[in-house]
Amino acid sequence: MKIAFFVSEATPYAKTGGLADVGGALPQALSKTGTEVKVFLPLYREVRQKGIPLLKKADRVTFSWAGQPETFALWESLEGGASVYFIDKPALYNRDGLYGTPAGDYPDNGPRFAFFSRAALEALKTLDFAPDVLHVHDWQASIALAYLKTAFADDPFFRSTRTLATIHNLAYQGLFEKSVLAETGLPESLYGLDGLEFFEKVSFLKAGILYATALSTVSHRYSQEIQAPEFGCGLDGLLRQRSESLAGILNGVDYGVWDPSVDRDIPADFGPGRIQGKAVCKQALLREFGLPADGKDLPVIGMVTRLAGQKGLDLVVEALGSLFTLGVRLVILGTGEAGIQRSLETARRRFPSFFGLKIGFDEKFARRIYAGSDMFLIPSRYEPCGLTQMYSLKYGTIPVVRATGGLDDSIEEYDPVTGRGNGFKFAEYAAPAMLEAVKNAVRIYGRPEVWGKLRTNAMACDFSWMRAAQEYALLYQSLVGR
C-alpha cells in the first residue's frame, strides 16, 4: 500500500512532544511491513539548524491560495528509512518555535498549518504519489481533509484515496476566528454546526472528525473516554455519531533507543538476566538528588512530567506528607505551572531526606530516573496514551498509574497469587486512592522474590512500534478494502 503522512512534527527533525515520536517512529516501522510511506512536514528553522542533508525536489510549486498564486519549495530528507519531505515557505516556518514562543502561540497558526496541509496535497501531485490512504495527525494536518472536500473534490488524482485522522489529544483543536476561512481559501459554506463551526470559532480538528473515512486515537480506552462529556471537549456528540469508524491503537516506543542494556546515559547497564546494574543506578540517582544513600532500602519513586494539574501533580502536592509516611523517597524532574512548582519547592525544603526535585527537563537525567527508580508514578487526570509508563517498564521500574487512557490499556494490576500483571492502578482521581495504590506497591516491594517476578514481567512487556505498525497496516487495509 501507499500511505501519505501529514504531521506537524517528527523525530529526529523537529519535536515539541509525543506527536513527534509517532511522526518519526511509526512510518519507519510501517516501512518494515512492506508499506510505502511518504511523510510531509513543514521545513522549520529547527530542521535547518540541525544540518540534516536535504535534496531539493521542486524549486517552485505554484497553486491558488485564497484567490492568489502562491509558491513553495519541496525538499526530501536524505537520512534514509521512510521518505520524508518538507514544505519550504520561510515566511511561515523559519521561526524559533514550531507553534509559538514562551509568550504564546503564533497568531497566524491557522494560515500557517492550513498552508502546510494544502501545500502537502500539491506536493503529492508533484511527486505523482497518489496514496491509498492519507493519514493526518491532529488539528495541524486535519484541515487537509477540508481541502480534499472542496478544492480537490473533483480531482481524479485523489479519487481512490481513503483518509484516516488520528486524534492525539482532543483538548487541542486548532480554534480560530471565522475569518480564517477566507484567509486560507476555504469556502464560507463550511462554517456551520454541521461544518467546521465550534462555539463561534472554526475548528481545524473538526475537519478531520467530519470528513475522514475513519478516525483513530492513541489508545483504546481514550477512544471510549472522548465519546463522553468529561473528556469529549465539546465534540463527544460528534464522536459518538462516528463511533463505528473510531479505533484506538496504542502508541509504541523505540527499544533501539529506550533499553537499559544499551543505554549509555545511565551509570550501569542492566537487563532481565543481569539486574545488578539497577542497584548501581539507584545509588547514583540518590547521590545526584542529594538524598541519603544509606543502608535503608527505601523504595524510590520517580516522576518525569510536566508540573501540571492534568498530570496529577495537584494530587501529589496534596499527598506528599502522607506519602513519606509509607517509607518511600520521591524524585521529580519537570517544569510547568508556577503554583505547583512553588509547592514542590516548599516540600523539598520540608522533606530534604525524602524528596528530590529538579526544575527543568534533561533527557539524559530523565533516563537516569527511569533506571534508578523502583517505581514510577503517573497520576494523570487524563492521558491519551502516555509513553513514560512504557519506558519505565523496560527499565524495570514499576508504574503506579491512574486507570485512564493509555495508562489503563498498558498497565495490568499485579496479582501476587497468579503472578500476572506489570504494575499498580487506581481509578478515582483522588489523593487517598493514589496513596492506596502506592501502599500496595510498597507492600510488594517488601517481598523481594515477589517484586523480582513483577519486575521480570515489566521488562518483558512489548510495546514496540512494530506492534502498533501492524495494527495500523490492518486498519489501512480495511479502509481500501484489501
What does the H/E/C string look like for 149-206? HCCCCCCHHHCCCEEEEEECCCCCCCEECCCHHHHCCCCHHHCCCCCCEECCEEEHHH
User: Taking a C-beta distance cutoff of 8 angstroms, is the pair 319, 433 a contact?
Assistant: no
Cell numbers 524528596 correspond to what residue?
355
Q: Do 41 and 86 belong to one domain?
A: yes
Q: Do 332 and 475 belong to one domain?
A: no
Q: Do 242 and 293 belong to one domain?
A: no
Question: Structural domain of residue 143, as residue ranges?
Answer: 2-252+466-480
Q: Give the contacts of 406 (CB within 8 A, at least 6 positions apart).
A: 218, 219, 221, 222, 250, 251, 383, 384, 385, 386, 389
- Measured in residues, the chain has a length of 482
Identify whether 259 is part of a domain: no
**Nearest residue to 99 via CA among 123, 124, 76, 116:** 116
What sign has the CA pseudo-torsion 267, 452, 463, 20? negative
Residue 163 has a CB neighbour count (10 Å cut-off) of 23
Identify whether 317 is part of a domain: yes
- Specify the 3-state DSSP secondary structure of 400: strand
Cell numbers 489503563 correspond to what residue?
408
Q: Looking at the 3D structure of the chain, how many domains does it have? A: 2
Q: Do 186 and 285 belong to one domain?
A: no
Identify whether 264 is part of a domain: no
Give, for all 482 residues of the chain, the pLDDT tens digit.
999 999 999 999 999 888 998 999 999 999 998 899 999 999 999 999 999 999 999 999 999 999 999 999 999 998 877 899 999 999 999 999 999 987 889 999 999 999 999 999 999 999 999 999 999 999 999 999 999 999 999 999 999 999 999 999 999 999 999 999 999 999 999 999 999 999 999 999 999 999 999 999 999 999 999 999 999 999 999 999 999 999 999 999 989 889 999 999 999 999 998 999 999 999 999 999 999 977 678 999 999 998 988 999 999 999 999 999 999 999 999 998 999 999 999 999 999 999 999 999 888 999 999 999 999 999 999 999 999 999 999 999 999 999 999 999 999 999 999 999 999 999 999 999 999 999 999 999 999 999 999 999 999 999 999 999 999 999 999 999 85
133 bridge partner residues: 3, 162
Identify whether 258 is part of a domain: no
Identify whether 266 is part of a domain: no
71 bridge partner residues: 62
Q: Do 35 and 80 belong to one domain?
A: yes
Identify whether 214 is part of a domain: yes
Q: Do 375 and 234 belong to one domain?
A: no
> pTM (2 decimals)?
0.92
Q: Do 451 and 302 belong to one domain?
A: yes
Q: Do 473 and 391 belong to one domain?
A: no
Q: Say which CATH number the domain at 212 has.
A: 3.40.50.2000
Task: Give the C-alpha separation, 267 to 10, whole Å.
Answer: 29
Identify whether 270 is part of a domain: no
Q: How far is CA 316 from CA 154, 223, 308, 438, in A?
A: 55, 27, 11, 12
Listing DSSP states for 239-258 in one string gives HHHTGGGEEE----B-TTTS
What sign has the CA pseudo-torsion 438, 301, 346, 427? negative
Identify whether 359 is part of a domain: yes
Q: Do 76 and 199 belong to one domain?
A: yes
Give the three cell numbers for residue 154: 473533483
Cell numbers 540518590 correspond to what residue?
286
Q: Do 63 and 206 belong to one domain?
A: yes
Q: Do 62 and 135 belong to one domain?
A: yes
Helix pair 465-480, 18-31: axis angle to 10 deg: 70
Q: Do 281 and 369 belong to one domain?
A: yes
